Amino acid sequence: LEDREGNVWAGTTVGLYRLTRQKLTPLTNIGLVTAVDATAHELWAGTSYGVVRFTRERGTWHGERVDGPPFYAVAVHRDRAESLWVGAQTGLFEVVGRRLRSVPLPADMTALSCLSSDSHGLWLGGGGRIAQWDRARFTPVPMPADAPGQPVCVYVDDREHAWIGFPEAKLLRRSPDGTFVRFGAETFGSDANTIYNVSQTSDAAVWVSTNVGVTRFTTAGTFTFTRASGLPSDRVWTVFDDDEKH
């Protein structure tokens, strides 16, 4: 993830690293970093120990744990109203000031795996299902009868299409009217078997990260970038673009 000052932040198994033009600065002793969200003035890291908030004072970044019970954070998401949410193996939390507010979840959806949002509220993935939450009630998102297994991730793009990843690198795109378009593993490559993440860049392209590269979806079609295209590895976890549209 790149912040607005051009620093690149990398989450690793031993902590968070900040890459500047001069050097790589480790920020350790915070556990395994699983998700990051950044604004102009602060950075939030979801870790295996909970949530850590980083702020900069006099050119130096300082981290502090957000008050709350320890948990394994798997997703950090800022919705369209600029509220910050954390998905964890123990439930859903909203960041309020420097504290975490727990949101009660349905009994069959206590362990979350992904978060996204549209103009109506949050989309949550967990327990092998997808649900929408409008701060008043949870509404399960119906899947087709022949859905290719249990969903593993969800992302809602700026046209409010929901991209839902399944095992064996299968993908469904759900339109706002509830209709589905299917994409098989062959969309990504002959050896595709895992979808890690779906994201969107500022040019409206949707990127699906897999074990065989990253596939770009546009109105003109699809194109998959792999190691042969110049990537250091075929296994891609996620895609972001910076303020310069890179």
The pLDDT tens digits for 48-100 are: 878 888 887 776 777 788 877 778 888 889 898 999 999 988 889 999 888 88
Residue 211 has what pLDDT?
A: 94
Q: What is the dihedral of CA 62, 66, 72, 74, to 10 degrees?
A: -80
φ, ψ dihedrals at 133, nearest 5°? -135, 125
Q: What is the mean pLDDT of residues 206-213?
A: 94
The answer to whether the beta carbons of residues 115 and 124 sit under 8 Å apart is yes
Residue 23 has what pLDDT?
A: 46
Q: Which long-range contacts (CB under 8 A, 24 or more apart) does 163-172 make?
A: 163/198, 163/206, 163/208, 164/130, 165/195, 165/198, 165/208, 166/195, 167/194, 168/193, 169/193, 169/194, 169/195, 169/210, 169/211, 170/195, 171/195, 171/198, 171/208, 172/143, 172/144, 172/147, 172/148
Q: How far is CA 39 from CA 1, 159, 206, in A?
A: 11, 23, 22
At which residue do the structure tokens 């078997």 appear?
Answer: 193
Q: What is the mean pLDDT of residues 116-126?
A: 93
- Average pLDDT over all residues of the chain: 84
Distance, in Å, from the CA atom of 149 to the CA atom of 128, rounded to the nearest integer, reads 8
Distance, in Å, from the CA atom of 24 to the CA atom of 13, rounded to the nearest integer, reads 16
Q: What is the mean pLDDT of residues 181-191?
A: 95
The answer to whether the beta carbons of residues 132 and 152 sit under 8 Å apart is no
In this predicted structure, which of 60-64, 102-106, 185-189, 222-226 has the lowest mean pLDDT? 60-64
Higher-pLDDT residue of 137 and 33 is: 137
Cβ neighbours for 37, distance < 8 A, ≥ 6 positions apart: 1, 43, 44, 76, 77, 78, 84
* Each residue's pLDDT tens digit, 17-36: 555 554 445 555 666 666 77
Higher-pLDDT residue of 176 and 237 is: 176
**b/e sequence 189-208, b meaning 16+ C-beta within 10 Å:** beebebbbbbbbeeeebbbb
Q: What is the mean pLDDT of residues 126-133?
A: 90
Residue 24 has what pLDDT?
A: 41
Residue 116 has what pLDDT?
A: 94
Distance, in Å, from the CA atom of 129 to the CA atom of 32, rounded to the nearest integer, reads 26
Residue 28 has what pLDDT?
A: 56
Work out the percent of the chain whose per-residue pLDDT is above 70: 83
Q: How far is CA 222 from CA 83, 99, 183, 241, in A?
A: 32, 42, 11, 18
